Amino acid sequence: MPRDVSIAVVGATGAVGLEFLKVLEQRAFPVSSVRLFASPRSVGKQLAVNGKPVSVEQTHPGCFNGVDFAFISVSSELSEELAPQAVEAGALVIDDSSAFRMRPEVPLVVPEINGQDMEEHRGIISIPNCSTTQMVMAIAPLHAVNPVRRIVVDSYQSVSGAGSGAMEELRSQANATLTGEDDILSSRIAFNLRPQIGDFLSSGYTKEEEKMSEETRKIMHAPDMAVSATCVRVPVLVCHSEAVHIESEGPWSVTDARNLLANFPGVSIIDNPQAGEYPMPWDLAGTDDVYVGRIRQDWSHPNGLAMWVVADNLRKGAALNAIQIAEEVLRRDCLKPTSSLSQASSA
């Protein structure tokens, strides 16, 4: 049994941060002490951690001293500033932003898929983008048996991916529309769709769509896997959904694919279409698994398989994956890096 550890949660009052504290308690993660950090406007708030109130602080020099794990869920810009400070102080950073994901020296980890990558960490382990995580969970068990050459994926992403403010905004927009007090001028998402998540690149893809391509290749150790995504924000509060079409080296039997998925840890099958059973986001918010349904041979490609994948983007897409990484770090006993990103000695 590993010793209890000291943790810091940065971005504790955000949608992912709050979910993180829930998951921490639900999984009885072995903490000896918890520090909570957030932006100045949240300082002084108290949040329950394992049933006890903990005050939210602002980060400051030295705030990561004595911390074993720093869980960071803030903007990339802020992560770039804070993560090195935490590493310097001897903490292992588990970072939810895109700041470090594609750096060659930073493991990008979904424990069920590439847990071994974390053993090479140098102070930072990145969590993949939420839309990537649930997709690779559904593809990894298939890829292991019948290599996947190409993925076409179109996403249906909930507003919680943009934070708790976006959830409130959806509710208030929907209410304004229903009551006829509708003066929503921009960024309407209620009863609407927005086919943009993240900034646009010169390729015409968005940053979010690029993440789904690049991160998938990195996590799967599949540099030649082709991935084309269209990422769309939908008026759903929690859970991302994805229509996924894969092309493999050889043909698929639906039975084989279903068995591979059903036997993969963290994946559940909901696929009884004749009974109207398939994964739907409203039903699955607050749960841990990645749910796969609508599994069928893709009749437009001899080696194709199509499926529908739903997961709670705040849990497996973020908070749960972060804690699973920490659990796996303890299991593999690799809290301290073999070589550090910085030359600082551990505190």
Q: Are 311 and 158 in contact (CB under 8 A)?
A: no
241 vs 324, beta carbon nearer a copy of itself: 241
CB of 48 to a copy of itself, least distance (A): 23
42 vs 241, beta carbon nearer a copy of itself: 241
100 vs 308, beta carbon nearer a copy of itself: 308
CB of 173 to a copy of itself, least distance (A): 10
Going by C-beta distance under 8 Å and a sequence separation of 6 or more, which residues neighbour residue 226?
149, 150, 151, 213
Going by C-beta distance under 8 Å and a sequence separation of 6 or more, which residues neighbour residue 149?
224, 225, 226, 247, 248, 249, 303
CB of 243 to a copy of itself, least distance (A): 4
Helix, strand, or coil (residue 22): helix
CA distance 251 to 149: 12
Nearest to 62 by CA among 80, 35, 41, 24: 35
Q: Which amino acid is at 89?
A: A
CA distance 161 to 233: 9
Q: What are the E-state strand segments in the chain? A: 5-10, 31-37, 46-49, 52-57, 69-72, 92-95, 124-126, 148-156, 226-230, 240-248, 267-269, 290-297, 304-311
CB of 298 to a copy of itself, least distance (A): 5
Residue 240 bears catalytic tag: yes
Output the six-digit token pair for 152. 């076409």
Residue 121 bears catalytic tag: no
Catalytic residue among 130, 143, 231, 239: 130
3-state secondary structure 119-157: HHCCCEEECCCHHHHHHHHHHHHHHCCCCEEEEEEEEEE
160 vs 324, beta carbon nearer a copy of itself: 160
CB of 226 to a copy of itself, least distance (A): 4
Residues that bind a copy of itself (CB under 8 A): 150-152, 154, 156, 170-171, 174-175, 178, 188, 191-196, 200, 203-206, 213, 226-228, 230, 232, 234-237, 241, 243, 245, 254, 273-274, 276, 278-283, 293-301, 304, 306, 308
177 vs 340, beta carbon nearer a copy of itself: 177
Going by C-beta distance under 8 Å and a sequence separation of 6 or more, which residues neighbour residue 224?
149, 217
Going by C-beta distance under 8 Å and a sequence separation of 6 or more, which residues neighbour residue 177?
184, 190, 191
167 vs 325, beta carbon nearer a copy of itself: 167
> Residue 44 CB: number of other CB atoms within 10 A?
10
Output the six-digit token pair for 124. 């930072």
Nearest to 240 by CA among 306, 312, 164: 312
Q: Are 109 and 127 in contact (CB under 8 A)?
A: yes
CB of 308 to a copy of itself, least distance (A): 5
Catalytic residue among 63, 143, 239, 240: 240
135 vs 151, beta carbon nearer a copy of itself: 151
Active site residue ranges: 130, 240
